């Protein structure tokens, strides 16, 4: 099964991750990572948070925020992870290049390009500037590999 390679909204992944730990990762279709963050949150709650504080929180009673700090840290790290994963996924979609150095998808909107056009027919972005940047990057990579040899 192949993973979906579409552009995702980082702010939405972070918002969903804030609503429930792992939900931002589910939005990104990173199932194992979502389960991993839920497992981390469970482990942190068992190992580092007083059970009386968890019981009081479940009952709706007032709880000292300092007692829940480990849960807040784990949840915050999960949110940051979902946000960064969405940004990384978008960057990968944005910079898809064919072996001959042409772009497969638009760097601006992320949609598939028509190889016969010099602009994106979805968002009308000019592709000449992006292809020049990609050509420069590939030249730099070629120079680095030759220097290592």
Summarised one tens digit per residue, pLDDT across range 92-135 is 766 666 666 677 777 777 677 887 888 888 888 887 766 666 66
57, 63 in Cβ contact below 8 A? yes
Q: Is the pLDDT of residue 1 over 60?
A: no
Q: How long, in residues, is the chain?
A: 149
Cite the beta strand spans of 62-146 per DSSP E: none
State the pLDDT at residue 118.
82
pLDDT of residue 3: 43
Instruction: Report the pLDDT value the prediction gives residue 93, as an integer from 0 to 100.
Output: 64
**Structure-model confidence comparison of residues 144 and 22, the more confident one:** 22
- CA–CA distance, 117 with 58 (Å, rounded to integer): 59
pLDDT of 9-63, one tens digit each?
999 999 999 999 999 999 999 999 999 999 999 999 999 999 999 999 999 999 9
Which pLDDT score is estimated for 140?
Answer: 58
Exposure string for 2-26, b = 16+ CB within 10 A, e = fewer: eeeeebbebeebbbbbeeebbbbbb
């Amino acid at each position: 099964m192949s993973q979906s390679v579409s552009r995702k909204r980082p702010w939405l992944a972070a918002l969903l991750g804030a609503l429930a730990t792992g939900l931002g990762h589910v939005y990104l279709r990173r199932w194992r990572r979502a389960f991993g963050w839920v497992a981390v949150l469970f482990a942190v709650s068992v190992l580092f948070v007083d059970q009386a504080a968890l019981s009081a929180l479940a009952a709706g009673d007032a709880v000292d925020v300092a007692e829940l700090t480990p849960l807040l840290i784990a949840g915050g790290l999960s949110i940051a992870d979902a946000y960064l994963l969405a940004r990384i996924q978008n960057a990968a979609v944005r910079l898809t290049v064919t072996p001959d150095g042409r772009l497969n998808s638009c760097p601006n909107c992320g949609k598939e390009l028509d190889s016969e056009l010099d602009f994106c027919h979805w968002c009308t972005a000019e592709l000449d500037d992006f292809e020049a940047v990609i050509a420069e990057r590939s030249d730099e990579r070629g120079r680095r590999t030759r220097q290592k040899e």
